[in-house]
Amino acid sequence: MLDFLARVGRVSIAFLAAAGRLALFALNALSHCLRPPFYPRLIARQLIDIGYYSLPVVGLTALFTGMVLALQSNTGLGRLNAQSAIALIVVLSVTRELGPVIASLMVAGRIGAAMAAEIGTMRVTDQIDALSTLATNPFKYLIVPRLVAGTIAVPALVFVADIIGVFGGFLVGTYKLGFNPASYLFQTADYLHADDVISGLIKAAVFGFIIALMGCYHGYHSRGGAEGVGAATTYSVVSASILILLFDSALTSVLF
């Protein structure tokens, strides 16, 4: 019994220590966001990497999500003779929930892993130490541009994903389920309120920050060569995905 309690205690302490290290890392990074020097060229490069190059994968995911959502809603609402609500279900689900969450999970897999691998490789090959010896703060040069770009780019991606997701629902609604195109679009516009989109974009900004933070944190603290970099990559994707779902639940209860 005592062994079991000791084990639980050790795990709890290790968890709290890890959470504390992550919080300090985040606070340190945020404090550097506010102090010069700033690196706009690096932020722009990260915006392109995160935002522009993630568009195909996020767009495709959003399109299929919207299409499947319309089909599944038709099945469910058909039992209640309420197929007219399909446009409402699609637009609200995509803008408030599925757009931000699914786009962020895709970006976590694509960008969070890449960040952890790049920064982790720099760590194990002494490139981060080299930055310090060249009078350049690694937090300002490596971490801040990624955090800023992540927080800006993911909401922009989600906005595009919202449009494509709704378009996916529109395609299924009009070509497969036989809705009148003008009527479907009118219903979509009628049911959609600005705060539906804004709440989704607020979530996306938080998720973008989380993705970049986890990628940078695990990469920055990676150890032990290729194996350590591989582990950092896995941790960054897994922890970002879990935190996205956790914060989604928390933000949903705050914003609705």
Partner 1 sequence: MSKSPKIAISGLKKSFGRKVVLDGIDLDIGEHENLVVIGGSGTGKSVLVKCVLGLLEADSGSVKIDGREAIGMGTREREALMQKFGMLFQGAALFDSLSVWENVAFGLIQGRGIERRRAKEIALEKLGAVGLGPEVGALAPSELSGGMQKRVALARAIAAEPEIVIFDEPTTGLDPIMADVINNLIVQCVHDLGATAVSITHDMASVRKIADRIAMIYKGRIIWCGAKDEIDRSGNPYVDQFIHGRAEGPIKMEVRAL
Taking the complex as a whole, the smallest distance from the CB of residue 121 to partner 1 amounts, in Å, to 8
Which residue ranges make up the site for partner 1 (CB under 8 A)? 121-122, 125-127, 129-130, 132-137, 141
* Largest distance between two CA atoms of the chain: 70
Q: Which is nearer to partner 1, 129 or 190 (CB)?
A: 129
Q: Which is nearer to partner 1, 130 or 242 (CB)?
A: 130
Residue 229 · residue 171 · CB < 8 Å:
no
Helix crossing, 194-220 with 2-33: angle to 10°?
A: 110
Taking the complex as a whole, the smallest distance from the CB of residue 143 to partner 1 amounts, in Å, to 14
Q: Which is nearer to partner 1, 51 or 138 (CB)?
A: 138
Taking the complex as a whole, the smallest distance from the CB of residue 220 to partner 1 amounts, in Å, to 14
Amino acid of residue 237? V
Taking the complex as a whole, the smallest distance from the CB of residue 209 to partner 1 amounts, in Å, to 23
DSSP 8-state code for residue 174: I
Distance of CA 206 to the CA centre of its chain: 8
Distance of CA 118 to the CA centre of its chain: 18
User: Cα–Cα distance between 91 and 163 in angstroms, integer?
Assistant: 9
Q: Which is nearer to partner 1, 189 or 226 (CB)?
A: 226
Q: Which is nearer to partner 1, 138 or 165 (CB)?
A: 138
Query: How many alpha carbons fall within 13 Å on the CB side of residue 158?
Result: 33
Taking the complex as a whole, the smallest distance from the CB of residue 151 to partner 1 amounts, in Å, to 22
Helix crossing, 86-93 with 181-191: angle to 10°?
A: 50
DSSP 8-state code for residue 84: G
Taking the complex as a whole, the smallest distance from the CB of residue 130 to partner 1 amounts, in Å, to 4
Tokens 């786009």 belong to residue = 103
Q: Which is nearer to partner 1, 134 or 182 (CB)?
A: 134
Taking the complex as a whole, the smallest distance from the CB of residue 73 to partner 1 amounts, in Å, to 46
User: Cα–Cα distance between 96 and 203 in angstroms, integer?
Assistant: 9
Which of left, alpha, beta for 224 (phi over 0: left; psi -120 to 50: alpha)? Answer: left
Q: Which is nearer to partner 1, 39 or 64 (CB)?
A: 39
